[in-house]
Amino acid sequence: MRLILLGPPGVGKGTQAQRLQDHYAIVHLSTGELLRDEIADGTDLGLHAKSFIDQGLLVPDQILLDMMNGRLQHTDCEAGFLLDGFPRTIPQAEGLTGILATLDQALNAVVCLTADREELIHRLLLRGKTSGRTDDNLAVIRQRLDVYRQQTEPLIDYYRANGLLVEVSGLGTIPEITERIINALDIQCLE
């Protein structure tokens, strides 16, 4: 199974990705986590990325594409993967299509989780109390939601046009949402 998990910050992508990784026995790749690891390791890439992350802006496309091009070639991705937080722009989506074509792979589905802005702000402020993330504060949260609307939301139509989009409500309990996703994927992958 090769999946993308799409949706605004705070919608629960990371939580659901953990559960879907176990269910489908596939690798969970979160670009936010990969970038935070680079920052923690003090690499040049991490230092560069941090200036964007702390402002709630997207890290430049080419950095993400180079990082994911390398990562998707690892043997642990052969059995399938779940991309969480990537792609986030149309150029990243087009780049991903190219990377997968060279690997002779194709996506099975793009799951888009949805929730309204007030709910997302509420959840992210709560998360900020314990996450230790420098970008979980109100000013940066608002910026990240605006960036999502302007740069990432166009991917919904992009993947709908490709027939890959599966939209699922991100409201409810964690197990309810997981079940909703798995049921929707069962239908999508039968078609």
Nearer to ligand AMP, 58 or 109 (CB): 58
Q: What string of DSSP letters covers 95-128?
A: HHHHHHHHTT----EEEEEE--HHHHHHHHHHHH
Nearer to ligand AMP, 65 or 165 (CB): 65
Q: Rounded to the nearest whole angstrom, what is the least distance from the CB of residue 187 to ligand AMP in the complex?
A: 27
Nearer to ligand AMP, 66 or 157 (CB): 66
Q: How far is CA 185 from CA 79, 171, 180, in A?
A: 17, 18, 9
Q: Report the residue number whose CB is nearest to ligand AMP.
A: 32
Provide the β-strand partners of residue 82.
3, 28
How far, in whole angstroms, is CA 182 from its chain's centroid? 17
Q: Rounded to the nearest whole angstrom, what is the least distance from the CB of residue 152 to ligand AMP in the complex?
A: 9
Q: CA-to-CA distance for 67 and 63, rounded, in angstroms?
A: 6
Q: Rounded to the nearest whole angstrom, what is the least distance from the CB of residue 91 to ligand AMP in the complex?
A: 10
User: Is the separation of the CB atoms in 65 and 10 below 8 Å?
Assistant: no
Annotated catalytic sites, by residue?
A: 13, 88, 127, 133, 144
Nearer to ligand AMP, 53 or 109 (CB): 53
Q: Nearest to residue 87, comparing CAs of 151, 164, 19?
A: 151
Q: Rounded to the nearest whole angstrom, what is the least distance from the CB of residue 110 to ligand AMP in the complex?
A: 14
Q: Nearest to residue 137, comparing CAs of 128, 145, 148?
A: 128
Q: Rounded to the nearest whole angstrom, what is the least distance from the CB of residue 56 to ligand AMP in the complex?
A: 6
Nearer to ligand AMP, 35 or 165 (CB): 35
Contacting positions for ligand AMP (CB under 6 A): 9, 31-32, 35, 52-53, 56-59, 64, 85-88, 92, 135, 144
Secondary structure (3-state) at 4: strand
